[in-house]
Every structure is written in C-alpha cells, then in structure tokens.
C-alpha cells in the first residue's frame, strides 16, 4: 500500500508555544490530505481537509486560526497548532487518499502533550 | 442515530479462534467499505477495501458486505496475538467524506 510519513511522532511543549506537524506522501502525490484528532478510546474526528495550492476546509467547530494548515506541494501538508494549551493535547493523525478518494492511507500519528 | 455503529468491545479470544467484527450503518449512499487496524498510539492501517456486496478474502481476513441489511463484517481466521489491536470500520459514498466507526478493541490471548 501507499506510504504516508508523519513527523514528529511525539512532542511535548509548554503552553503558549506553537507546534508544527508534517505529513508526507512518500510514493504518490496527494492533492488532498486529511487531518484527524483522536482522543483515548474514541474514533477519529476529522478536523480539516488540506487542499494543495488552496485554502484548507475546516470542519464545524474547528478553529482555523488555532490549527493552521498548509499544503504547499503535492506531497507535503503541515498542521501547526498555534499557541498550544493543555486542552490541545491529543493524538493527531494525517491521511491521504491513493487510488480512490475513499481509500485512505494514514500517517503514524503525533502525540501532542502541552504542559 | 449514528451513521455508523460499531460494538466497542473489548473482545477477548484465545489464540486460533475465529473473530467476527461487525458494523451497521444507516446511510444508503455508502458504497465503499473499509476495515482498518490500529495499534495503540499508531495510525490506522488499511486492511480491506471493498465496494460490492459479498465476500472478499485476503489471507486470514475476510470482509463481508450486505448492503440490503446495511451490515458489514470482518472475519479473522486463526487469530494471533499480533492481531490484538483496535479495528475500525469505515464507509464512504456519494459526496460524503469517509465515516469511521468507533472501533472494536480485540485482544487475542496466547
């Protein structure tokens, strides 16, 4: 299957700092990527759809200014959590479709802990 | 009513058992059905992808779709301790984004 690389796998930061998470499609091009958030023992919650060369589309209730998404190339999307607070602590996962729009391949996830 | 319902488990079985994981859905527009395996603190891994009613087999895994009953299943034969993970069903169709079930946690005991 297709490979999606996500970095870092884990980050611990102080409250008020910004954190950038990278998502790369390694062996295919992705005009669209998806960012999810997952709380313990819960399913994936779609945060936003990242579109190459245009603005991201955010799901209802997700703050655009808090979660900045940039999709500058066909293989790279970044999620920046700005001015992170403890309530932003969560597991963030990206995905990209390959072969079909609904056939998603996921990165390994990033565990964010904000102190 | 949620669009996708999945028994959260946990499900505990002895090694070698046949495991049956199930999801029901309410949206008739769904036409693509996936199963993902997620190990703790890792991203989900695509196991099975299908778009037609009936069975699809891949090694020890069989995905079954019954569109008339809006019911999908994943069967795991000869389960192994390495199969211990959370299994997520997922569906898509029409202009809908992929919708995930809440996941079933499976433990295979040696």
Cross-chain residue pair B102–A111, CB shorter than 8 Å: no
Q: How far is A38 from chain B (nearest CA, A)?
A: 10
Cα(B19)–Cα(A30) distance, integer angstroms:
35
Chains A, B: CB contacts within 8 A come to 49
Q: Which of B8, B42, B100 sits opposite A108 (nearest CB)?
A: B42
**Predicted local confidence at residue B102, as pLDDT:** 92
What pLDDT score does A98 carry?
Answer: 87
Cα A40 to Cα A43: distance, rounded to the nearest angstrom:
8
Rounded average pLDDT over A34-39: 94
- Residue A95: predicted pLDDT: 96
Contact check, Cβ <8 Å, A105/B90: no
Mean pLDDT of A53-73: 93
The share of chain A scoring above pLDDT 90, in percent, equals 84
Whether residue B95 has pLDDT greater than 80: no
pLDDT > 80? residue A37:
yes
How far is residue B71's CA from residue A33's CA, in Å, rounded to a whole number? 28
Q: How confident is the model at residue A80 (pLDDT cuts 50, 70, 90)?
A: very high
Q: Mutation test of the interface with chain A: which of B32, B44, B90, choosing the one with the most A Cβ atoms within 10 A?
A: B44
B89 close contact with A: CB closer than 8 A: no
What is the number of H-type helices and E-type strands within chain A?
A: 0, 11
Residue A23: closest CA among A110, A114, A113:
A110
pLDDT over 90 at A20, yes or no: yes
Residue A99 is predicted with a pLDDT of 78
**For B30-87, what is each residue's pLDDT tens digit?**
999 999 999 998 999 999 999 889 999 999 999 999 999 999 999 999 999 999 999 9
């Amino acid at each position: 299957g297709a490979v999606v690389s996500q970095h870092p796998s884990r980050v611990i930061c102080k409250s008020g700092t910004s954190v950038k998470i990278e998502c790369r499609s390694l062996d295919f091009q992705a005009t669209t990527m998806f960012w999810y958030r997952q709380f313990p023992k819960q399913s994936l919650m779609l945060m936003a759809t990242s579109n190459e060369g245009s603005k991201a589309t955010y799901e209802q209730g997700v703050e655009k200014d808090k979660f900045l998404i940039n999709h500058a190339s066909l293989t790279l999307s970044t999620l920046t959590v700005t001015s992170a607070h403890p309530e932003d602590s969560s597991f963030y996962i990206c995905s990209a479709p390959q072969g079909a729009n609904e056939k998603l391949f996921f990165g390994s996830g990033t565990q964010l802990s904000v102190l | 009513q949620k669009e996708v319902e999945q028994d959260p488990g946990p499900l505990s079985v002895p090694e070698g058992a046949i495991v049956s994981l199930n999801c029901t859905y309410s949206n008739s527009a769904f036409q693509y059905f996936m199963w993902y395996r997620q190990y703790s603190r890792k991203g989900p891994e695509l196991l099975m992808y299908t778009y037609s009613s009936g069975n699809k087999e891949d090694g020890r895994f069989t995905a079954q779709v019954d569109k008339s009953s809006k019911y999908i299943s994943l069967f795991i034969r000869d389960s192994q301790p390495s199969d211990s993970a959370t299994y997520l069903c997922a569906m898509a169709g029409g202009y809908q984004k992929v919708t995930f079930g809440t996941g079933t946690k499976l433990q295979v005991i040696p």
